[in-house]
Protein backbone atom coordinates (compact mmCIF):
# COMPACT_ATOMS: atom_id res chain seq x y z
CA UNK A 1 0.00 0.00 0.00
CA UNK A 2 1.71 3.20 -1.22
CA UNK A 3 0.95 6.80 -0.31
CA UNK A 4 -0.21 8.70 -3.40
CA UNK A 5 -1.29 12.12 -2.09
CA UNK A 6 -2.17 14.19 0.97
CA UNK A 7 -5.44 16.07 1.27
CA UNK A 8 -6.17 18.82 3.81
CA UNK A 9 -9.47 20.06 5.22
CA UNK A 10 -10.69 22.18 8.13
CA UNK A 11 -12.98 20.81 10.80
CA UNK A 12 -14.97 23.24 12.94
CA UNK A 13 -17.24 21.97 15.70
CA UNK A 14 -18.85 24.31 18.27
CA UNK A 15 -18.35 23.47 21.94
CA UNK A 16 -21.25 22.93 24.34
CA UNK A 17 -19.90 25.74 26.55
CA UNK A 18 -16.79 27.97 26.25
CA UNK A 19 -13.59 26.19 27.31
CA UNK A 20 -11.66 28.48 29.67
CA UNK A 21 -8.17 27.95 31.10
CA UNK A 22 -5.52 30.23 32.56
CA UNK A 23 -4.09 30.41 29.03
CA UNK A 24 -7.10 30.90 26.76
CA UNK A 25 -10.85 30.81 26.07
CA UNK A 26 -12.15 28.81 23.12
CA UNK A 27 -15.68 28.34 21.77
CA UNK A 28 -15.09 25.81 19.01
CA UNK A 29 -12.79 23.00 17.94
CA UNK A 30 -10.92 24.30 14.89
CA UNK A 31 -8.60 21.63 13.56
CA UNK A 32 -6.66 20.72 10.45
CA UNK A 33 -7.66 17.33 9.06
CA UNK A 34 -5.14 15.33 7.08
CA UNK A 35 -6.16 12.52 4.73
CA UNK A 36 -3.42 10.27 3.39
CA UNK A 37 -4.58 8.63 0.15
CA UNK A 38 -3.07 5.36 -1.08
CA UNK A 39 -2.93 3.32 -4.28
CA UNK A 40 -5.21 0.71 -2.66
CA UNK A 41 -7.97 3.26 -2.05
CA UNK A 42 -7.46 3.18 1.75
CA UNK A 43 -7.46 6.57 3.47
CA UNK A 44 -5.53 7.31 6.67
CA UNK A 45 -7.00 10.08 8.83
CA UNK A 46 -5.13 12.54 11.05
CA UNK A 47 -6.02 15.72 12.93
CA UNK A 48 -4.19 18.64 14.53
CA UNK A 49 -5.48 21.62 16.51
CA UNK A 50 -3.67 24.95 16.43
CA UNK A 51 -2.92 25.29 20.14
CA UNK A 52 -0.53 28.20 19.62
CA UNK A 53 -0.31 29.12 23.33
CA UNK A 54 1.04 25.66 24.16
CA UNK A 55 2.70 24.15 21.08
CA UNK A 56 3.34 27.34 19.11
CA UNK A 57 1.52 25.76 16.17
CA UNK A 58 -1.04 27.64 14.07
CA UNK A 59 -3.35 26.44 11.30
CA UNK A 60 -1.01 28.03 8.74
CA UNK A 61 2.13 26.52 10.26
CA UNK A 62 0.58 23.05 10.47
CA UNK A 63 -0.45 23.07 6.80
CA UNK A 64 2.85 24.56 5.61
CA UNK A 65 4.94 22.11 7.66
CA UNK A 66 3.09 19.15 6.21
CA UNK A 67 2.85 20.49 2.67
CA UNK A 68 6.45 21.70 2.29
CA UNK A 69 8.51 19.52 4.65
CA UNK A 70 6.74 16.29 5.61
CA UNK A 71 4.57 15.31 2.64
CA UNK A 72 7.36 15.37 0.03
CA UNK A 73 9.16 12.70 2.08
CA UNK A 74 6.12 10.41 2.20
CA UNK A 75 4.63 10.44 -1.30
CA UNK A 76 5.36 7.11 -3.01
CA UNK A 77 6.43 5.40 0.24
CA UNK A 78 5.11 1.99 1.26
CA UNK A 79 3.06 2.04 4.45
CA UNK A 80 4.60 -1.31 5.55
CA UNK A 81 7.78 0.61 6.45
CA UNK A 82 6.08 2.35 9.36
CA UNK A 83 9.17 2.79 11.55
CA UNK A 84 11.13 4.33 8.69
CA UNK A 85 8.21 6.57 7.81
CA UNK A 86 7.80 7.87 11.38
CA UNK A 87 11.53 8.65 11.42
CA UNK A 88 11.07 10.58 8.15
CA UNK A 89 8.26 12.55 9.81
CA UNK A 90 10.19 13.24 13.01
CA UNK A 91 13.39 14.33 11.21
CA UNK A 92 11.65 16.45 8.56
CA UNK A 93 12.08 19.57 10.71
CA UNK A 94 12.42 20.79 14.31
CA UNK A 95 9.36 21.34 16.53
CA UNK A 96 6.02 21.51 14.61
CA UNK A 97 4.75 18.67 16.80
CA UNK A 98 1.08 19.11 15.86
CA UNK A 99 1.82 18.74 12.14
CA UNK A 100 3.93 15.65 12.83
CA UNK A 101 1.19 14.23 15.05
CA UNK A 102 -1.52 14.64 12.39
CA UNK A 103 0.60 12.82 9.81
CA UNK A 104 1.74 10.07 12.19
CA UNK A 105 -1.85 9.39 13.26
CA UNK A 106 -2.81 8.91 9.60
CA UNK A 107 0.22 6.64 9.01
CA UNK A 108 -0.63 4.42 12.00
CA UNK A 109 -4.28 4.34 10.86
CA UNK A 110 -3.17 3.00 7.46
CA UNK A 111 -0.64 0.59 8.99
CA UNK A 112 -3.34 -1.02 11.15
CA UNK A 113 -5.79 -1.06 8.21
CA UNK A 114 -3.22 -3.19 6.34
CA UNK A 115 -3.58 -5.83 9.05
CA UNK A 116 -7.37 -5.41 9.08
CA UNK A 117 -7.10 -4.86 12.86
CA UNK A 118 -7.89 -2.00 15.26
CA UNK A 119 -4.81 0.12 15.93
CA UNK A 120 -4.60 -0.78 19.63
CA UNK A 121 -4.24 -4.48 18.70
CA UNK A 122 -1.39 -3.72 16.31
CA UNK A 123 0.22 -1.76 19.17
CA UNK A 124 0.02 -4.82 21.44
CA UNK A 125 -3.62 -5.09 22.50
CA UNK A 126 -5.47 -4.29 25.70
CA UNK A 127 -8.92 -3.73 27.17
CA UNK A 128 -10.72 -1.53 24.58
CA UNK A 129 -12.82 0.37 27.13
CA UNK A 130 -11.36 3.28 29.11
CA UNK A 131 -12.78 6.05 31.30
CA UNK A 132 -12.05 9.75 30.88
CA UNK A 133 -12.41 12.70 33.20
CA UNK A 134 -14.06 15.95 32.08
CA UNK A 135 -12.75 19.50 32.29
CA UNK A 136 -14.46 22.13 34.42
CA UNK A 137 -13.52 25.51 32.95
CA UNK A 138 -12.18 28.22 35.23
CA UNK A 139 -15.03 30.60 36.10
CA UNK A 140 -16.86 32.05 39.09
CA UNK A 141 -17.00 29.69 42.07
CA UNK A 142 -20.77 29.24 41.75
CA UNK A 143 -20.55 28.39 38.04
CA UNK A 144 -17.72 25.90 38.63
CA UNK A 145 -19.65 24.20 41.44
CA UNK A 146 -22.75 23.97 39.21
CA UNK A 147 -20.69 22.61 36.28
CA UNK A 148 -19.02 20.07 38.58
CA UNK A 149 -22.34 18.83 39.96
CA UNK A 150 -23.77 18.58 36.44
CA UNK A 151 -20.71 16.54 35.30
CA UNK A 152 -21.14 14.17 38.25
CA UNK A 153 -24.84 13.78 37.33
CA UNK A 154 -23.72 12.85 33.79
CA UNK A 155 -21.62 10.04 35.25
CA UNK A 156 -18.13 11.55 35.39
CA UNK A 157 -16.29 10.36 38.50
CA UNK A 158 -13.15 12.35 37.80
CA UNK A 159 -13.11 16.13 37.28
CA UNK A 160 -10.24 18.19 35.90
CA UNK A 161 -10.69 21.58 37.52
CA UNK A 162 -9.06 24.50 35.73
CA UNK A 163 -7.42 27.06 38.02
CA UNK A 164 -4.37 29.32 37.77
CA UNK A 165 -6.15 32.66 37.63
CA UNK A 166 -6.18 34.33 41.06
CA UNK A 167 -4.46 32.31 43.76
CA UNK A 168 -6.84 33.17 46.62
CA UNK A 169 -9.94 32.47 44.53
CA UNK A 170 -8.34 29.25 43.22
CA UNK A 171 -8.12 27.91 46.79
CA UNK A 172 -11.78 28.82 47.35
CA UNK A 173 -12.73 27.23 44.01
CA UNK A 174 -11.15 23.92 45.08
CA UNK A 175 -12.73 24.06 48.56
CA UNK A 176 -16.23 24.74 47.22
CA UNK A 177 -16.09 22.06 44.51
CA UNK A 178 -14.62 19.51 46.93
CA UNK A 179 -17.40 20.19 49.44
CA UNK A 180 -20.04 19.87 46.71
CA UNK A 181 -18.88 16.60 45.12
CA UNK A 182 -16.68 15.16 47.91
CA UNK A 183 -17.28 11.39 47.70
CA UNK A 184 -18.65 11.28 44.20
CA UNK A 185 -15.66 12.39 42.12
CA UNK A 186 -11.88 12.59 42.21
CA UNK A 187 -10.52 16.10 41.68
CA UNK A 188 -7.54 16.93 39.47
CA UNK A 189 -6.45 20.59 39.36
CA UNK A 190 -4.80 22.08 36.27
CA UNK A 191 -3.24 25.52 36.77
CA UNK A 192 -1.95 25.75 33.17
CA UNK A 193 1.23 27.55 34.35
CA UNK A 194 -0.75 30.20 36.24
CA UNK A 195 1.15 30.17 39.54
CA UNK A 196 4.70 30.85 40.65
CA UNK A 197 6.45 28.02 42.49
CA UNK A 198 5.97 29.74 45.87
CA UNK A 199 2.30 30.49 45.16
CA UNK A 200 1.78 26.86 44.14
CA UNK A 201 3.26 25.53 47.38
CA UNK A 202 1.15 28.00 49.38
CA UNK A 203 -2.07 27.08 47.53
CA UNK A 204 -1.57 23.31 47.55
CA UNK A 205 -0.59 23.29 51.25
CA UNK A 206 -3.64 25.42 52.07
CA UNK A 207 -5.84 22.88 50.29
CA UNK A 208 -4.09 19.96 52.01
CA UNK A 209 -4.50 21.66 55.40
CA UNK A 210 -8.20 22.19 54.66
CA UNK A 211 -8.55 18.42 54.18
CA UNK A 212 -9.11 18.59 50.42
CA UNK A 213 -7.90 15.40 48.79
CA UNK A 214 -6.64 16.09 45.29
CA UNK A 215 -5.64 13.29 42.97
CA UNK A 216 -2.99 15.56 41.42
CA UNK A 217 -2.08 19.13 40.49
CA UNK A 218 -1.10 19.67 36.86
CA UNK A 219 1.45 22.17 35.56
CA UNK A 220 1.39 24.68 38.45
CA UNK A 221 4.29 26.78 37.09
CA UNK A 222 5.59 28.14 33.79
CA UNK A 223 6.50 25.50 31.18
CA UNK A 224 10.22 26.38 31.19
CA UNK A 225 10.49 26.46 34.99
CA UNK A 226 11.61 22.87 35.67
CA UNK A 227 13.40 23.99 38.86
CA UNK A 228 10.15 25.58 40.01
CA UNK A 229 8.27 22.38 39.23
CA UNK A 230 10.77 20.42 41.33
CA UNK A 231 10.49 23.01 44.12
CA UNK A 232 6.74 22.40 44.27
CA UNK A 233 6.99 18.60 43.93
CA UNK A 234 9.46 18.41 46.83
CA UNK A 235 7.32 20.51 49.18
CA UNK A 236 3.79 19.12 48.89
CA UNK A 237 2.20 15.73 49.48
CA UNK A 238 -0.22 16.00 46.53
CA UNK A 239 1.22 14.42 43.35
CA UNK A 240 2.41 16.97 40.77
CA UNK A 241 1.99 16.36 37.04
CA UNK A 242 4.02 17.94 34.25
CA UNK A 243 2.10 18.97 31.13
CA UNK A 244 3.41 21.99 29.16
CA UNK A 245 6.93 21.38 30.63
CA UNK A 246 7.42 18.13 28.72
CA UNK A 247 6.85 17.51 25.03
CA UNK A 248 9.16 14.71 23.82
CA UNK A 249 11.10 11.76 25.27
CA UNK A 250 14.30 13.77 25.93
CA UNK A 251 12.42 16.24 28.15
CA UNK A 252 10.72 13.39 29.99
CA UNK A 253 14.09 11.75 30.69
CA UNK A 254 15.36 15.07 32.11
CA UNK A 255 12.20 15.52 34.19
CA UNK A 256 12.59 12.04 35.66
CA UNK A 257 16.33 12.60 36.29
CA UNK A 258 15.54 15.84 38.15
CA UNK A 259 12.57 14.26 39.97
CA UNK A 260 10.76 17.45 38.99
CA UNK A 261 7.28 15.88 38.87
CA UNK A 262 5.49 12.70 39.91
CA UNK A 263 3.37 12.18 36.78
CA UNK A 264 3.73 12.98 33.08
CA UNK A 265 0.89 14.14 30.82
CA UNK A 266 1.41 12.64 27.35
CA UNK A 267 -0.36 14.41 24.49
CA UNK A 268 0.07 13.43 20.86
CA UNK A 269 0.19 17.12 19.89
CA UNK A 270 3.24 17.62 22.14
CA UNK A 271 5.05 14.39 21.31
CA UNK A 272 4.67 14.78 17.55
CA UNK A 273 2.44 11.71 17.35
CA UNK A 274 2.20 8.10 18.34
CA UNK A 275 5.83 6.91 18.05
CA UNK A 276 7.15 9.30 20.70
CA UNK A 277 4.06 8.83 22.88
CA UNK A 278 4.97 5.13 22.99
CA UNK A 279 8.62 5.94 23.75
CA UNK A 280 7.52 8.16 26.66
CA UNK A 281 5.14 5.53 28.04
CA UNK A 282 7.93 2.94 27.90
CA UNK A 283 10.49 5.27 29.54
CA UNK A 284 8.01 6.13 32.28
CA UNK A 285 7.09 2.48 32.88
CA UNK A 286 10.78 1.58 33.20
CA UNK A 287 11.18 4.26 35.87
CA UNK A 288 7.93 3.48 37.66
CA UNK A 289 6.49 6.88 36.73
CA UNK A 290 2.76 7.09 36.01
CA UNK A 291 1.39 8.86 32.95
CA UNK A 292 -1.84 10.53 31.98
CA UNK A 293 -2.86 10.65 28.33
CA UNK A 294 -4.41 14.01 27.52
CA UNK A 295 -5.57 16.05 24.56
CA UNK A 296 -5.87 19.65 23.40
CA UNK A 297 -9.21 20.89 22.15
CA UNK A 298 -9.34 18.10 19.61
CA UNK A 299 -12.09 16.19 17.91
CA UNK A 300 -12.74 12.46 17.60
CA UNK A 301 -9.97 11.66 15.10
CA UNK A 302 -6.81 12.50 17.03
CA UNK A 303 -8.49 11.76 20.37
CA UNK A 304 -9.40 8.33 18.97
CA UNK A 305 -5.72 7.75 18.21
CA UNK A 306 -4.84 8.75 21.77
CA UNK A 307 -7.46 6.30 23.07
CA UNK A 308 -5.84 3.46 21.07
CA UNK A 309 -2.46 4.37 22.58
CA UNK A 310 -3.96 4.51 26.09
CA UNK A 311 -5.42 1.02 25.71
CA UNK A 312 -2.19 -0.48 24.36
CA UNK A 313 0.04 1.24 26.93
CA UNK A 314 -2.15 0.80 30.00
CA UNK A 315 0.84 -0.33 32.09
CA UNK A 316 2.18 3.25 32.07
CA UNK A 317 -0.92 5.28 31.17
CA UNK A 318 -3.07 5.04 34.28
CA UNK A 319 -5.00 8.31 33.89
CA UNK A 320 -7.10 9.50 30.97
CA UNK A 321 -8.03 13.08 30.06
CA UNK A 322 -9.56 12.55 26.62
CA UNK A 323 -12.63 14.74 27.01
CA UNK A 324 -12.32 16.73 23.75
CA UNK A 325 -15.19 14.83 22.07
CA UNK A 326 -17.43 15.17 25.17
CA UNK A 327 -16.99 18.95 25.06
CA UNK A 328 -18.22 19.23 21.44
CA UNK A 329 -21.85 19.81 20.44
CA UNK A 330 -21.75 16.82 18.05
CA UNK A 331 -19.40 14.12 16.85
CA UNK A 332 -18.50 14.74 13.18
CA UNK A 333 -16.92 11.31 12.69
CA UNK A 334 -18.74 8.38 11.07
CA UNK A 335 -17.42 5.15 12.58
CA UNK A 336 -14.34 5.53 14.76
CA UNK A 337 -14.16 5.31 18.53
CA UNK A 338 -17.34 5.60 20.64
CA UNK A 339 -17.24 8.60 22.97
CA UNK A 340 -20.14 8.25 25.37
CA UNK A 341 -19.62 10.79 28.17
CA UNK A 342 -17.00 9.24 30.50
CA UNK A 343 -16.85 5.92 28.64
CA UNK A 344 -14.61 5.55 25.61
CA UNK A 345 -14.91 2.25 23.77
CA UNK A 346 -13.04 1.08 20.71
CA UNK A 347 -14.93 -1.07 18.19
CA UNK A 348 -13.41 -4.00 16.35
CA UNK A 349 -12.80 -2.04 13.12
CA UNK A 350 -9.58 -1.69 11.09
CA UNK A 351 -7.19 1.14 12.00
CA UNK A 352 -9.03 4.01 13.67
CA UNK A 353 -12.28 2.68 12.15
CA UNK A 354 -13.16 6.04 10.56
CA UNK A 355 -15.54 5.78 7.60
CA UNK A 356 -15.85 9.52 6.96
CA UNK A 357 -16.01 12.98 8.55
CA UNK A 358 -19.07 15.22 8.22
CA UNK A 359 -18.88 18.95 7.56
CA UNK A 360 -15.26 19.23 6.38
CA UNK A 361 -14.38 22.57 4.81
CA UNK A 362 -11.98 22.68 1.87
CA UNK A 363 -8.42 23.78 2.50
CA UNK A 364 -6.09 23.99 -0.49
CA UNK A 365 -3.43 21.26 -0.25
C1 LIG B 1 -9.08 19.32 26.84
C2 LIG B 1 -8.21 18.81 27.97
N3 LIG B 1 -9.01 18.34 29.06
C4 LIG B 1 -7.26 19.86 28.45
O5 LIG B 1 -7.51 20.52 29.43
N6 LIG B 1 -6.15 20.03 27.70
C7 LIG B 1 -5.14 21.01 27.90
C8 LIG B 1 -5.50 22.36 27.44
C9 LIG B 1 -5.84 22.29 25.99
C10 LIG B 1 -6.18 23.52 25.23
O11 LIG B 1 -6.01 24.64 25.67
O12 LIG B 1 -6.60 23.26 24.08
C13 LIG B 1 -4.43 20.92 29.22
O14 LIG B 1 -3.84 21.88 29.65
O15 LIG B 1 -4.36 19.84 29.81
MG1 LIG C 1 -2.82 20.61 31.25
Looking at this predicted complex, what is its ipTM? 0.99
Q: Ligand 1 atom closest to Cα of 49?
A: 12
Q: Which residues of the chain have pLDDT under 50?
A: none
Q: Domains of the chain: which residue ranges?
A: 3-116+358-363, 121-356
Fold of 121-356: TIM Barrel (3.20.20)
pLDDT single digits (tens) 161-186: 999 999 999 999 999 999 999 889 99
pLDDT on residue 249: 98
In whole angstroms, what is the distance from residue 178 CA to residue 15 CA? Answer: 26
pLDDT on residue 266: 99
- Using CA atoms, how far residue 274 sits from 92, 225, 299, 303, 344, in Å, is 16, 26, 16, 11, 18
Q: Could you write out the DSSP letters of every residue in 176-239? A: HHHHHHTTT-EEEEE-TT-S-HHHHHHHHHHHHHTT---SEEE--S-TT-HHHHHHHHHH-SS-
Q: How far apart, in Å, do the first and last CA atoms of the chain sit? A: 22
Ligand 1 atom 13 nearest Cα: 296
In CATH, what number does 3-116+358-363 get? Answer: 3.30.390.10
Ligand 1 atom 8 nearest Cα: 296
Report residues near ion ligand 2: CB below 5 Å: 190, 218, 243
Residue from 290, 291, 300, 248 nearest 269 by CA = 248
> pTM surpassing 0.90?
yes
Pocket residue to mutate for ligand 1, from 321, 339, 342, most atoms within 8 A of Cβ: 321
Between the CA of 122 and the centroid of ligand 2 the distance, in Å, is 29
Pairing of strands 338-340, 333-335: unpaired
The number of CA neighbours under 13 Å toward the Cβ of 87 is: 3
In whole angstroms, what is the distance from residue 34 CA to residue 278 CA? Answer: 21
Amino acid sequence: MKITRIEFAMLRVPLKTPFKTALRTVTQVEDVIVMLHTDSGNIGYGEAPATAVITGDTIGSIVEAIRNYIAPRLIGQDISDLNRLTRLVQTAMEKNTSAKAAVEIALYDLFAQQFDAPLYRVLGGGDPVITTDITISVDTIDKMVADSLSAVERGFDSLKIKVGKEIGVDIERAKAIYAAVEDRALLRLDANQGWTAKQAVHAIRAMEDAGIQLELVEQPVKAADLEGLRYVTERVTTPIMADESVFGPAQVIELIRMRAADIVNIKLMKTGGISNAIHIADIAALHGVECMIGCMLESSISVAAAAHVAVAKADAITKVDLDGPSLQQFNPVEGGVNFNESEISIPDAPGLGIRGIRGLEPLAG
